[in-house]
Structure 1
Amino acid sequence: MKVSPFLLLSTALLSTAVASECTTQFTAIPAIQGTGNSSPLLGQQLTTRGVVTAVVYPNSKAAGLVLRSTERGNTTASDSLFIADPDSAATYQPGQLLQITGSVAEVNQLTSLTTVTQISVCGSKPDIQPVTLQLPLADGQNWEQLEGAWLRFEQPLTVNDTYSLGRYGEITLADKRLMTATEIMLPGKDATALATVQQERHMLVLDDGLYQQNPDPVLFPSGGLTADNTLRIGDSLSGVEGVLLQDERGYRLLPTKMPQFSVHNPRPAKPQQKPAKALRIASFNVLNYFNGEGQPQPFPTRRGASTATELERQQAKLIVALAALDADVIGLLEVENNGYSQKGALASLTNALNKVASKPYRFIITKQQPGSDAIKVALLYRPSSVSVEGNAAILLSKPFDWGSRPPLAQSFRHLQSNELVTVSINHFKSKGSCPKDAASKDADQQDGQACWNALRTVSAKALSDWLASQPTGVKTDKQIILGDLNAYRLEDPVRMLEQQGWKYLKAETGPQYSYVYRGRTGSLDHALASPALAKKLAAMQHWAINADEPVFLDYNVEFKSDNLQQLLYAPTPYRSSDHDPLIATFQF
């Protein structure tokens, strides 16, 4: 018989008489837990007593029981304790009152009773109820005080992260959608405090309780995760109930029943068709589109697809998404930097796109190699809508000689209006791989902007100055900067561009974000226009097809059974990348 992964609490409890072995001499659970991060009785052999609230991780090496004390005692200490004993998990049931002898230990930071030598059934407590809890945690309250507790959340909780859903069966919940601190407030101590202290009190990981990697099926949402049955950031759960445990990854709630999932952030339809006389410019991070051309063996590629099959799956999702943009000019990011030949990655992607696009695209070719990085930025355009004017320009000098991908600029004439527009696609240095010198100005300044902020800020100023010089050889007051600046909305690089006179293009409705990282939502992708072009903005959109979706729905086959490789994949735009595309439509 298949055992439910949920820690079902039985209402039909065993009727057991009080055993003669039960004595009045035992150590209460709050005394074992103490008020610190570890037990004050660590290593001691002792006897304790409590009622079973749950059987956790059944049929696994980590299986055990959770006891709740019948003696409250210290109200600042947890009244629940994990019994790390698979044999007990297979023998006893929720509601039974047990007296257990064993050794106090910290198992993966979870206070536990191990090496169990004796268990006595002392009766039953059929009326046990969970503790009702509200997020965020109240002042003075912390998760350590609730370790092992059987909790019930009567408020709906919002999905904030699904990154580990496919690998470990867990999602991050909060009482609301949490934003990256520097998306909504200026960098500084307050932003750091919001991210590292305050928001943590709003968040809780919900674990599927299976104690296994790569579960098949993936239990969340109801009915199991599939390519069509998704779980998006912003969706909500009600009736969340479970037992709070801790391991090396932190605190997590193991559900005692399946919560109810509600779609509050449905998948968006494709963007509206571009008005006939409008100019539409978009950007899309294609998440390391590599075809391996130029390598001794094409697969695995340096950063993208590991096999030809993965490349086929990746490409199918990308071209459907790119075609749906209905854009006249598309700036691409994270294309393999392996030239402009018909065998290169850029040509391969363009040729595949033209098989499904309503109007064919061409790509811009630069005379110079676009930097030494493994990836590059690129530009596609529709000759039916725009003509190429001037020269393709690429900035290879400092600060773009290292770290950041060199920006690419090209001027286009919009055929319907005869207007000249210069488009610059950009990909600034990422926040990771911090400098080894902690005194470096590019080290993390602990203000919420992470590493390399100084380089990104200098890059923003250099980019603005470069575009002011009309680098394509075409003089026009209508210019646009777009792409992944690796800076959130209120960080220094974006504000630097605004200080130089660029106008931030903000969507009037819909999502204002493009990326989700560690349970926080923000935008690393931005569009800023010169004042003359900004006045012509008709619509701005973040098309939320990627950041909100589980990463397990992408093209990769790693960590997926044969069944899941089929079940979780579809050649649709959803999770075609990790960044959402931007779409700016101008009407002249």
Structure 2
Amino acid sequence: MQLFYKALSLLTVFLVACAAAGAQQITPIGIIQGSGALATSGTFTVEGIVTGVYAGLNPAGFYVQNDAAGADGDAATSDALFVVQTAPSVVVGNRVRITGAVQEIASTPSFNQAVLTGPAITVVSAGNALPAFSIISNATYSNATAEPFEGMLVEFSAPVTVTDVAALKSRGELNISPQGLVYQPTQFVDPNDDPASGTTSAGATNVAAVTAYQAANASRILLLDDGRATVNPLPIPYLDATTQTVRIGSTVGRLRGILGYGNSRWRVQPLAGADAPVVTVLRPAVPTFSAIDVKVASFNVLNYFNGDAQAAAFPRRAEPKRWWNLTASAAKSLPPSCR
């Protein structure tokens, strides 16, 4: 009998040890992300809430974020990361347990964003509340301080301003600034003179100030993405519902999204429903005219080059004179009332 109990005890210890060995150790995402620029590489098991699914990104996948109970409690670390999955099998609100390889490298599929690849996914539950939005102060935002929010749900504390629309039609992207419009450095900085009250029209005595101004501009500009890698996306996103356009100076009120990173840019990936970004275009008021006859004339001076005559392929000094003569001739042909 004593031998039987001893054998039974050994069997119990063996089974408990096996269960412990087979259990997955869940690591808070903040521990993996760390407070530095790069996440810790390796195989990890994480558990969190799916906050955004982006089947149209390249690579496709979804963001997962620890809720308050699962986070590491350190404001200097991000509690989220991107899970690479070609055909995402989860939905927003799923609580998932995922085992996979974490990396943050310059090449695909990371592109300097912390990602988990080769995921083995278990859906623990569905319909969960999302983690709270982390508030980003517009006044203090800088790309240099965005790392603790990588992959997380964020909300800007005030409206952001559209600063560039060049890639909206081709890539579905808008440049935005939390601190208002940005201007060319030479709008305020004289590149030739320091102080700017100087009258030199050539030279480079103040180039450092111009460069510093440009760097300050770049530090506070990020992208509002459309959650897709599509070229020439249709419909074009973010058009104002009334004007069907977007202008520099337009605003996005209460911008909420997921702060991702890719192609060397911080970018806000959009959310759906009530949290979707809405761009408001503020056009100048129509002026009031008296009883006058207004005529408008314009000329294309895009090719009005001021050549340096240093190379045959570059327009020579004769080129501006030729364009001047063409412009003057065209102006003379206008009716007197338009001159």
- C-alpha distance in 2 between matches for 1:217 and 1:324: 36
Match of 2:197 in 1: none
2:318 pairs with 1:371? yes
Match of 2:198 in 1: none
The answer to whether the 8 Å contact 2:172/2:233 transfers is yes
2:214 pairs with 1:195? yes
The answer to whether the 8 Å contact 1:233/1:265 transfers is no
User: SS of 2:302's equivalent?
Assistant: strand
2:274 pairs with 1:245? no
Match of 1:32 in 2: 32
The answer to whether the 8 Å contact 1:64/1:86 transfers is yes
Q: How far does the alpha carbon of each residue in 1:239-276 deviate from its partner, in whole angstroms, 9 at most, with x for none?
A: 3211111111411111103323322234978x979989
Pairwise mapping of residues 206-221 of structure 1 onto structure 2 (< 5 A)? 206-221=224-239
Q: Percent identity?
A: 22
2:244 pairs with 1:229? yes
The answer to whether the 8 Å contact 2:131/2:153 transfers is no
Match of 1:507 in 2: none
Match of 2:46 in 1: 48
- C-alpha distance in 1 between matches for 2:58 and 2:143: 35
Deviation of the 1:200 alpha carbon: 3.3
Match for residue 99 of structure 1 among 97, 100, 109: 97
Deviation of the 1:129 alpha carbon: 2.3
User: SS of 1:167's equivalent?
Assistant: helix
User: SS of 2:227's equivalent?
Assistant: coil
The answer to whether the 8 Å contact 1:78/1:147 transfers is yes
Match for residue 143 of structure 1 among 135, 139, 146: 146
Match for residue 64 of structure 2 among 64, 67, 79: 67
The answer to whether the 8 Å contact 2:240/2:280 transfers is no
Q: How far does the alpha carbon of each residue in 1:432-480 deviate from its partner, in whole angstroms, 9 at most, with x for none?
A: xxxxxxxxxxxxxxxxxxxxxxxxxxxxxxxxxxxxxxxxxxxxxxxxx
Match of 2:199 in 1: none
2:296 pairs with 1:265? no
2:186 pairs with 1:176? no
Match of 1:333 in 2: 301
- C-alpha distance in 2 between matches for 1:32 and 1:203: 27
2:33 pairs with 1:83? no
- C-alpha distance in 1 between matches for 2:143 and 2:246: 33
Compared CA separation, residues 383 and 55, structure 1 to 2 (3 A): closer
Q: How far does the alpha carbon of each residue in 1:315-367 deviate from its partner, in whole angstroms, 9 at most, with x for none?
A: xxxxxxxx9534xxx66523599xxxxxxxxxxxxxxxxxxxxxxxxxxxxxx
Deviation of the 1:163 alpha carbon: 0.5
Deviation of the 1:136 alpha carbon: 3.9
User: SS of 1:110's equivalent?
Assistant: coil
Match for residue 129 of structure 1 among 128, 132, 139: 132
Deviation of the 1:178 alpha carbon: 1.2
Match for residue 271 of structure 2 among 224, 236, 256: 256
Compared CA separation, residues 273 and 165, structure 1 to 2 (3 A): farther
Compared CA separation, residues 239 and 100, structure 1 to 2 (3 A): same
Compared CA separation, residues 121 and 336, structure 1 to 2 (3 A): same
The count of aligned residue pairs is 278
Compared CA separation, residues 53 and 156, structure 1 to 2 (3 A): same
Report which of the two has the higher share of strand.
Answer: 1
- C-alpha distance in 1 between matches for 2:103 and 2:82: 10
Q: How far does the alpha carbon of each residue in 1:402-449 deviate from its partner, in whole angstroms, 9 at most, with x for none?
A: xxxxxxxxxxxxxx9xxxxxxxxxxxxxxxxxxxxxxxxxxxxxxxxx
User: SS of 1:86's equivalent?
Assistant: coil
Deviation of the 1:65 alpha carbon: 1.6
* Matching residue's letter, 1:381: A
Deviation of the 1:140 alpha carbon: 10
Match of 1:360 in 2: none
User: SS of 2:32's equivalent?
Assistant: helix
After TM superposition, the score normalised by the length of structure 2 is 0.69
Pairwise mapping of residues 392-471 of structure 1 onto structure 2 (< 5 A)? none
Compared CA separation, residues 383 and 128, structure 1 to 2 (3 A): closer
- C-alpha distance in 2 between matches for 1:190 and 1:274: 49
- C-alpha distance in 1 between matches for 2:160 and 2:48: 30
- C-alpha distance in 1 between matches for 2:335 and 2:240: 46
Q: How far does the alpha carbon of each residue in 1:29-48 deviate from its partner, in whole angstroms, 9 at most, with x for none?
A: 11221233322x22x12212
User: SS of 2:30's equivalent?
Assistant: helix
* Runs (4+) off by over 6 Å: 271-276
The answer to whether the 8 Å contact 1:137/1:202 transfers is no
Deviation of the 1:211 alpha carbon: 2.1
- C-alpha distance in 2 between matches for 1:179 and 1:59: 33
Compared CA separation, residues 335 and 162, structure 1 to 2 (3 A): same
Deviation of the 1:108 alpha carbon: 1.2
Match of 1:185 in 2: 189
Match of 2:120 in 1: 117
- C-alpha distance in 2 between matches for 1:232 and 1:205: 15
- C-alpha distance in 1 between matches for 2:71 and 2:181: 38
Coordinate RMSD, CA, aligned: 3.7
- C-alpha distance in 2 between matches for 1:376 and 1:274: 36
User: SS of 1:245's equivalent?
Assistant: strand
